[in-house]
């Protein structure tokens, strides 16, 4: 009983860390109701494997088949009801997540009890977890599957080392580790827990989720090739000797695993450096915007001082015209200086927003860009500096795109609060398709290392607040929709 409990704790830790790391790479879904198909598939797999494993390792009862069928139908009906009539069948998302996690962990514990390291389980990626991840996180099945295989494969290498060392010391056969549950020592469960601690330390020290997220989003084919190679090595290590573990097995295993670790460390170091470089470029963009804001502020102060100076002289001149009764001259002075003192501003009630729009409006006036705005906002839900950087980047990109159009130059800004949701939309005319490579917009300027990071800066800010950003475009327009 204690051994089962120990394996259960180890499995919960192993599964939980895998899900936790994935959650750092992909944002949570706002609503799980849209993933009802994945839920039905997951429940089908769980109930089906529960039934088959019960038939294989438990007692058989006459009506058990019909019992499982009834349970399955009830669950399917509930899932469909939640999707179709969510108002009447409210199920707390956290409760559902906990129930599914416990069920999955229990099934994996059962599998570990039957086989300490099942190569078939690695290839199938435990199947349940990719669907679990789809339900609760914004990802596709291929991304979830690749992550699960990557996670299990590298855990498998650590388990292989344990099996070789333990088998050599205790003179055990590889067959016993894989197929005989009587050979599952307490140290096996402890080893699983130690592996989980190592994974946690790696994540905390090297921010693994940062570069793994990029891999899963933009380098799926490369990752798939690496995983196939790792699976082949793991399979060879697992099947090269079903007899008693010998010294040569341990040497081959250590060499292979050490090579894999060195390769992974090289990849980790490369992407860690690349992520730092990306952050540096984004910080440059932020710094440039702050500098621009400071310069604009100085320019506004100078302009304001000039207006005060001119206003004093103009008032003295008008006073003299009134004294002499020259009303026609007063009209001429007012007509000539009306534009100088009547610059159009947008008053939204939010000072930082008013200032950003005023700065952008002057740039648009200089470029003959028509500007429209619909603003109904009482609260900016993100920090002031982040908001300045976000909106300045969006305005700069919109102006840069619109100014290239010869016929029509327009920019439309919409900002509003809907309940507790902050919505921002900016639309501009365009004259060509943007250059997109692996979900990243590539600048057409000469120095791509310096330019083209504005959108990435915007993405990082939206992700910081667990928001959602969407880009819509064709050869005539470009639109950015942000929901936080």
Range in 166-180, 248-262, 397-411 the model is least confident about = 166-180
**Residue 308 in tokens:** 């005060």
Residue 298 exposed, middle or buried by CB count within 10 Å (0-12, 13-18, 19+): exposed
Residue 343 has pLDDT above 60, yes or no: no
Domains belonging to the chain, first-starting first, are 2-245 (no CATH), 345-484 (3.30.565.10)
Model confidence pLDDT, tens digit, residues 441-461: 766 654 444 445 778 888 888
**CA–CA dist 92, 32 (Å, integer):** 10
| Distance spanning both ends of the chain, measured CA to CA | 48
Model confidence pLDDT, tens digit, residues 93-127: 777 888 888 888 877 777 666 555 566 666 665 78
Range in 35-39, 48-52, 307-311, 480-484 the model is least confident about = 307-311
Tell me the pTM: 0.61
Task: Decide: 448 and 427 in contact? Cβ < 8 Å.
Answer: no
pLDDT of residue 331: 75
* Average pLDDT score, the chain: 76
pLDDT of residue 425: 93
Residue 70 has pLDDT above 70, yes or no: yes
Highest averaged pLDDT of the listed ranges 61-70, 132-141, 294-303, 438-447: 132-141
Residue 225 has pLDDT above 60, yes or no: yes
Task: Decide: 284 and 447 in contact? Cβ < 8 Å.
Answer: no
Q: 271 CB contacts (<8 Å, ≥6 apart)?
A: 210, 211, 214, 215
Model confidence pLDDT, tens digit, residues 13-46: 778 888 888 888 887 877 666 677 888 888 888 8
**CA–CA dist 160, 250 (Å, integer):** 9
Residue 92 has pLDDT above 70, yes or no: no
Percent of the chain scored above 90 by pLDDT? 4
Model confidence pLDDT, tens digit, residues 178-198: 665 544 545 556 666 777 777
343 or 108: which leads in pLDDT = 108
Range in 149-158, 167-176, 380-389 the model is least confident about = 167-176
Q: What is the mean pLDDT of residues 318-342?
A: 70
**Residue 54 in tokens:** 């019960």
pLDDT of residue 88: 44
14 or 143: which leads in pLDDT = 143
Q: 195 CB contacts (<8 Å, ≥6 apart)?
A: 14, 155, 158, 159
Q: What is the mean pLDDT of residues 315-323?
A: 75
**CA–CA dist 48, 127 (Å, integer):** 12
**Residue 74 in tokens:** 């009830």
Highest averaged pLDDT of the listed ranges 9-18, 106-115, 297-306, 368-377: 368-377
Model confidence pLDDT, tens digit, residues 377-429: 877 888 887 888 888 889 988 998 899 888 889 999 999 887 778 889 999 99
186 or 150: which leads in pLDDT = 150
288 or 13: which leads in pLDDT = 13
Residue 92 exposed, middle or buried by CB count within 10 Å (0-12, 13-18, 19+): exposed
**CA–CA dist 149, 367 (Å, integer):** 53
Q: What is the mean pLDDT of residues 230-257?
A: 83
């Amino acid at each position: 009983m204690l051994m089962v409990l120990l394996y259960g704790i180890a499995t919960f830790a192993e599964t939980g860390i895998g899900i936790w790391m994935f959650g750092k790479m992909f944002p949570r879904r706002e609503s799980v109701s849209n993933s009802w198909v994945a839920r039905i598939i997951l429940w089908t797999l769980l109930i089906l494997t529960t039934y088959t494993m019960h038939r294989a390792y438990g007692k058989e009862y006459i009506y058990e088949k019909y019992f499982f069928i009834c349970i399955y139908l009830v669950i399917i009906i509930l899932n469909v009801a939640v999707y179709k009539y969510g108002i009447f069948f409210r199920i707390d998302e956290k409760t559902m997540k906990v129930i599914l996690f416990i069920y999955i962990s229990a099934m994996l514990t059962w599998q570990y009890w039957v086989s300490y390291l099942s190569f078939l389980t690695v290839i199938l990626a435990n199947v349940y977890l990719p669907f679990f991840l789809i339900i609760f996180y914004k990802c596709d099945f291929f991304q979830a599957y690749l992550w699960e295989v990557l996670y299990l494969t590298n855990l498998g290498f650590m388990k292989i080392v344990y099996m070789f060392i333990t088998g050599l010391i205790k003179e055990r056969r590889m067959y016993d580790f894989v197929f005989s549950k009587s050979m599952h020592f307490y140290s096996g469960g402890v080893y699983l827990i130690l592996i989980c601690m190592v994974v946690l330390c790696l994540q905390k020290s090297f921010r693994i989720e940062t570069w793994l997220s990029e891999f899963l989003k933009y380098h799926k084919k490369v990752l798939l090739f690496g995983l196939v190679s790792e699976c082949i090595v793991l399979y060879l290590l697992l099947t090269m000797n079903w007899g008693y573990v010998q010294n040569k097995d341990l040497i081959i295993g250590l060499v292979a695993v050490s090579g894999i670790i060195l390769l992974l460390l090289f990849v980790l170091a490369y992407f860690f450096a690349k992520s730092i470089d990306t952050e540096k470029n984004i910080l440059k963009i932020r710094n440039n915007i702050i500098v621009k804001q400071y310069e604009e502020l100085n320019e506004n102060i100078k302009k304001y001082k000039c207006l005060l100076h001119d206003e004093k002289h103009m008032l003295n001149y008008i006073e003299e015209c009134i004294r002499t009764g020259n009303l026609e001259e007063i009209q001429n002075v007012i007509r000539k200086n009306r534009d100088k003192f009547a610059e159009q501003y947008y008053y939204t009630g939010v000072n930082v927003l008013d200032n950003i729009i005023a700065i952008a409006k002057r740039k648009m006036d200089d470029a003959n860009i028509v500007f429209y705005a619909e603003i109904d906002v009482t609260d900016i839900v993100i920090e002031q500096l982040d908001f300045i950087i976000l909106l300045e980047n969006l305005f700069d990109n919109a102006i840069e795109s619109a100014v290239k159009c010869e016929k029509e130059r327009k920019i439309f800004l919409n900002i509003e609060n809907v309940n507790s949701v902050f919505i921002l939309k900016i639309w501009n005319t365009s004259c060509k398709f943007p250059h997109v490579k692996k979900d990243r917009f590539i600048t057409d300027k000469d120095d791509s290392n310096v330019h083209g990071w504005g959108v990435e800066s915007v993405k990082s800010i939206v992700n910081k607040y667990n928001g959602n950003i969407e880009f819509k475009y064709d050869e005539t327009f470009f639109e950015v929709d942000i929901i936080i």
